[in-house]
Amino acid sequence: MASTGSPVSLPDKQILTDYGRDIMQVLWVLWLFGIIALLQRFTGAYGIFFTFAVYSILRRGPKSHGSIIMLCAVVYLYAASVVQWAVDLSTAFEAIHSVLMVPNIPIPNRAALASESTRKFDVPAEALFLINMLLADCVVIWRTWAIYQHRILAIFMPCMLLFISFVFSAIDLKCRTFDADGLARPHWARQICPQTELVAWACSVATNVTCTIFIGVKAWRHRNLMRELNFTASPHRISTEKILSILVESGFIYSLLWLSRILLFIDVAPSSPWYFVLAVLMPMHNQLSGMYPTLIIVIVNFRRTIWDHQSTSAMSNNIVFNTLQWSVKRPTNTSDTRTSRVDSHPESVIDVGLENSGFMGERHEEV
């Protein structure tokens, strides 16, 4: 039976085609991101990291301000990631509703309606993302500061980058507030606002790369020193070298994934395949900014938990001597080996634990 309705005009056909493509992209991302988010919450990496981080902190008890701060940071990052996921989902459904379920609006005007209706989510979503990003950078800087025995010079550059990132993040939120309220941007905002998010993100990338390089240098020096002293860590313990290697490798992986956000600042056409990549990476970045600092805390607490069960550190006069077990190589003319205890040297054995990161005021004694 032939349709008696009026045919769709050619411009409307093109508009509907574009809407269909956009909706397919949104639904595809929602499906993929929904599965990823579900796995993360219950059985995936983030859920496991979060559970272990909270357990390891609570297991040791709130013995210091540092433990309390780390616990609050882990809980906040996870809660923020859940809220961020809910905001992203609400934005997508609101856009679909505006495009398909508002019959009294002409088809050519529905894209503008979708943009207008989702604007209310812009500021909260951006605020959650930027706060997570800055907090993640703080955790990375804190870890570098602890590894370098609280030397301010080691974190001077990362702190400056963090400060610049914070300033431009605040400006970016102010600019988005103008847009959300429908207010005209002042002259200064028209000059600065288009680049604020880019500068904040670039400084965050630079902060992570810088801290990762500093930790890598310390790991390289530590490894060379251990080889010069012919020390071999016991296989029953997780060595400082392994911890540093994990921190370096995870830092570079995080930096590379963070660099992929540059697609956000490139004008990508919706018809381009890169648009699908952009649509998938953006929600993943929202989760990644909370997952990485949680991973750092898990790595540190995992090392501390092992040492709790295996370390026989001596305590005298309120001075803590952290010890590692080494297999000392005897001269070549002797076939046997002996195991000895070597007190940690500030330059050879680096404590990357939570309690010795400056919050509890403990210090190492050089022997």
Segments making up each domain of the chain, as ranges: 10-311+322-343
Rounded distance between C-alpha atoms, residue 285 and residue 13, angstroms? 35
**Predicted TM-score of the model (pTM):** 0.70
Give me the tens of pLDDT residue by residue for the chain, a chain 367 residues long.
444 445 545 566 566 666 666 666 666 665 555 555 554 444 456 777 788 888 878 877 767 777 788 888 888 888 888 888 788 878 878 887 777 777 777 877 877 888 888 888 888 888 988 998 999 899 889 888 888 888 999 899 999 999 999 999 999 998 888 877 767 778 888 888 888 999 999 999 999 999 999 988 988 888 888 788 776 655 545 567 777 777 887 888 888 888 888 877 887 777 777 777 777 777 777 777 777 888 787 777 765 544 444 443 433 334 333 433 333 344 444 444 444 444 444 433 444 444 444 433 343 433 3
The torsion angle over the Cα atoms of residues 126, 192, 278 and 203, rounded to 10 degrees, is -80
Q: Where are the beta strands (DSSP E) in the chain?
A: 231-233, 314-316, 319-321, 323-328, 338-343
CATH code, 10-311+322-343 = 1.20.1070
First to last CA, the chain: 95
